[in-house]
Chain A
Amino acid sequence: MTQDIIIAGGGRVGFQTAELLAARDEDVTIIEQDDTRVSEIADAWIATVIQGDASDPDILEQAGIEDADTVAALTELTGLNLAICLLATQIADEIRTVARVDRETDGAYDRFVDSVVYPEAAGARAAANKTAGEDVQSLTAVTGDVEILEIRVAEGAPAAGRTLADVAFPAGTLVISGEDGNRISKPDTKLTPGSQYVVAVEPGVVDEVLKLMRG
């Protein structure tokens, strides 16, 4: 089922995140203040845009915070991100919060937000991979556009309980590992609900693969 996600801050990080989530068919709303950024996001046609300051409760409400599943505060300012997440929790008790930070926090924010992301660390890992040579690549920074995903098969999904030979995945998909990553997949590998599989997917068909494996 589609998740309802609010992204505060439509800069480079916020925009790229929105793009990845929209490709997975999630329902994304972006809050952004800057005129130029707003029209750039509108051109990309990935999310509804609310123009304004995300730390303003009225703007958060216009973004539909009360019904949202997750809010990700991804502006450049750690303090602002924290404030947005705290405000969101005040308005909508059950909401999941994700804050972007600019340094290692070692769990300091865990009491206040559900997750933190440190994009600079991920960027550094990608840079290290490139610099050190191409023999060793971390999963999160594959070259090119192919995404390597670890997907847990959902109960009741169209592909659940079927063998790979039975399911017609769209072209551009490769199920790499068998059940829980212990073996390489074979045609008779069964897609057991609850188990995880490593799958290589081209960006255009990510949503379709997820519909088959997640329902």
Chain B
Amino acid sequence: MSSHDQREPEAELGLLDATMIGMGAMIGAGIFVLTGLAAEISGPAALLVFMLNGVVTAFTGLSYAELASAIPKSGGGYAFVREIFDDFGSFIMGWMLWFAYMIAGALYALGFAPNFLELLHVYGVVAPPDEVGAIMLPLLEVAVPAKFILAFVAVAGLVALNAASTAASGSAETVFTIIKVSILVVFVAFGFFSAGGGGETSFTFQNFDPLFVEGSGPFSILPAMGLTFIAFEGYDLITTVTEEVENPRENIPKAIFISLAATVVVYLLVVTVAIGTLGAEELAAAGEAGIATAATSFMPTGVPIIQNGGALIVFGAVFSTITALNAVVIASSRVAFSMGREGQLLPSIGRIHHRFGTPFVAVLLSAVVMLGSVFLPTQSAGNMSSLFFLLSFIIVNVAVIRLRRERPAMNRPYKIPYYPIPPILAIVSNAILAVVLVGFLVQTDPLALFLSIGWLGAGAVMYVVLNKYRARGTEEEAEVPTDQPVTERTGED
């Protein structure tokens, strides 16, 4: 998960490492945090939700593969869009992607907290999660639920770590991801073994009947697709480390496709087991701790050392959410850092710290938004993050088409098959999900809608102010000639 700035020159990531970075981000927290929420909206059809999202996101994955093979930059989606869009287009893309990652950070922190409480509960340290009372803050004299405090502390800790050290590395991510996937494999295996056991939560296909929630048709899965879309954003993360990958023009497209395919398979198996054992209703009731609750219901007890087999899965959830949180803390600060370096945010955001060597200001700024967002309801955080990923990916697909039209001679080591059908399908399907999601927000989540519009508004203001600031800077430079060439672009080009 390191970027170009912190890499040891000899550290090279292979195909496996690149694939694991993508899978690590996707399998990280989405599956643990969002399964319960998806079941709440669409019942057993949550299975279809994850499957269709995999299909929709594969189209955008193709676009990422073509762009990453042709544009040798490590900045992810923002760097690609910067290549072809004018100042405002690329600014708003970076602005939205930055927000999507920050809110994803809050979402993962909110997923971490109840799972961590559940882990403590399994060992009898605290009461069941829903019975843990609020904690009084002595200075403010207000009671804050323990969940928020835990989420807050998790974000603050990882931010401090990433602000002061560049130790996080891609190879560590490989080990983390293998651990996460192994734990899920154990979960799936025991889930299927429980079939025919006759217990209350033994796996049975009766839990899938009826597939759709009563009173709503197949369309009820659309809002759930919007909400859980964030569970598939991992390929953007792969393209933020391309520079460190060996033979990138072959390995990056491969890593994108393999990680996506493997993730979809893992998701489908996990969701099948969770619904098949616990049933959609109970899964929904468990919310962010859905998978963990399902596991505790059928995993064997009396296992040496860890005592309760379910604890292994709960540990997996805690571990996954915290590593995914770390990944998005890094990713969000890298987007802001790239924007600063391109002159699209204040220049100080694009500078590394003179002693730590980290993008210090970018990390701290991202932290402010993340810390503020951990007080949101989990569902609002999921909605907003997914919405902004959907919008950003639409722009990336438009960038593919514009680049093909305006720069036909550009060398493209990987070309999208059956162009232009996949990017057009990606734009249409992402747009449908975005519209459905917005409609869903209007009805159920005005807070998320309000904050989303607010962030876009703040972006527009920021853009105008920055252009004024830069115009002033250019005038000053014209008066006092320096040896530094003026590289800022002024206005729209």
**A→B interface (CB under 8 Å):** 1-4, 22, 25, 27, 38-39, 41-43, 45-52, 59, 62, 66-67, 69-70, 96, 152, 154, 156-159, 162, 166-168, 170, 202-205, 207-208, 211-212, 215
Task: Kindly provide the distance from the CB of A160 to the nearest chain B CB, expressed in whole angstroms.
Answer: 9
Of the residues A45, A66, A69, A156, contact of B493 by C-beta under 8 Å: A66
Task: Kindly provide the distance from the CB of B230 to the nearest chain A CB, expressed in whole angstroms.
Answer: 29
Q: Please state if B353 and A158 are interface contacts (CB–CB under 8 Å).
A: yes
Q: Please state if B406 and A62 are interface contacts (CB–CB under 8 Å).
A: yes
Task: Kindly provide the distance from the CB of A29 to the nearest chain B CB, expressed in whole angstroms.
Answer: 9
7 A/B residue pairs, CB under 8 Å, sorted by A: A1-B343, A42-B411, A47-B72, A69-B485, A70-B485, A211-B5, A212-B352
Task: Kindly provide the distance from the CB of A175 to the nearest chain B CB, expressed in whole angstroms.
Answer: 14
**Residues on the B chain within 8 Å of A4, using CB:** 487
Docked complex Cα distance between A51 and B351 (Å) = 34
Q: What residue of chain B has the Cβ atom nearest to residue A3's Cβ?
A: B487
Interface residues of B in 418-453 (CB under 8 A from A): none
Docked complex Cα distance between A51 and B408 (Å) = 9
Q: Please state if B354 and A50 are interface contacts (CB–CB under 8 Å).
A: no
**Residues on the A chain within 8 Å of B243, using CB:** 45
Q: Which of B10, B71, B247, B411 has the most CB of A within 10 A?
A: B411
Q: Please state if A48 and B485 are interface contacts (CB–CB under 8 Å).
A: no
Knowing A1-B343, A69-B485, the reply to whether A43 touches B9 (Cβ < 8 A) is no
Q: Please state if B354 and A168 are interface contacts (CB–CB under 8 Å).
A: yes
Docked complex Cα distance between A170 and B343 (Å) = 25
**B→A interface (CB under 8 Å):** 4-5, 8-10, 69-73, 83, 242-243, 247-249, 341-343, 347, 350-357, 406-411, 413, 483-485, 487-489, 493
Q: Please state if A170 and B357 are interface contacts (CB–CB under 8 Å).
A: yes
Docked complex Cα distance between A49 and B409 (Å) = 8
Number of A-B contacts (CB under 8 A): 99
Chain A contact surface mostly? mixed
Q: Please state if B341 and A2 are interface contacts (CB–CB under 8 Å).
A: yes
**Residues on the A chain within 8 Å of B411, using CB:** 38-39, 41-42, 48-51
Q: Please state if B410 and A208 are interface contacts (CB–CB under 8 Å).
A: no
Q: Please state if B409 and A212 are interface contacts (CB–CB under 8 Å).
A: no
Knowing A67-B493, A212-B352, A215-B347, the reply to whether A49 touches B487 (Cβ < 8 A) is no
Q: Please state if B9 and A205 are interface contacts (CB–CB under 8 Å).
A: yes
**Residues on the B chain within 8 Å of A70, using CB:** 485
Q: Please state if A168 and B355 are interface contacts (CB–CB under 8 Å).
A: yes
**Residues on the A chain within 8 Å of B413, using CB:** 39, 42
Give 9 closest A-B pairs by Cβ, nearest first.
Answer: A204-B9, A49-B411, A158-B354, A62-B407, A52-B409, A45-B72, A168-B355, A1-B487, A50-B409
Q: Please state if B409 and A48 are interface contacts (CB–CB under 8 Å).
A: no
**Residues on the A chain within 8 Å of B407, using CB:** 50, 62
Docked complex Cα distance between A156 and B346 (Å) = 12
**Residues on the B chain within 8 Å of A158, using CB:** 351-354
Docked complex Cα distance between A43 and B411 (Å) = 11
Docked complex Cα distance between A166 and B355 (Å) = 8
**Residues on the B chain within 8 Å of A204, using CB:** 8-10
Of the residues B341, B409, B483, contact of A1 by C-beta under 8 Å: B341
**Residues on the B chain within 8 Å of A62, using CB:** 406-410
Task: Kindly provide the distance from the CB of B314 to the nearest chain A CB, expressed in whole angstroms.
Answer: 40
**Residues on the A chain within 8 Å of B10, using CB:** 204
Q: Please state if B347 and A48 are interface contacts (CB–CB under 8 Å).
A: no
**Residues on the A chain within 8 Å of B487, using CB:** 1-4, 69
Task: Kindly provide the distance from the CB of B414 to the nearest chain A CB, expressed in whole angstroms.
Answer: 10
Q: Please state if A212 and B354 are interface contacts (CB–CB under 8 Å).
A: yes
Q: Please state if B408 and A45 are interface contacts (CB–CB under 8 Å).
A: no
Task: Kindly provide the distance from the CB of A213 to the nearest chain B CB, expressed in whole angstroms.
Answer: 10
Q: What residue of chain B has the Cβ atom nearest to residue A152's Cβ?
A: B483
Knowing A51-B409, A158-B351, A167-B354, the reply to whether A208 touches B5 (Cβ < 8 A) is yes
Knowing A51-B409, A51-B410, A158-B353, the reply to whether A1 touches B83 (Cβ < 8 A) is no
Knowing A1-B487, A62-B409, the reply to whether A46 touches B72 (Cβ < 8 A) is yes
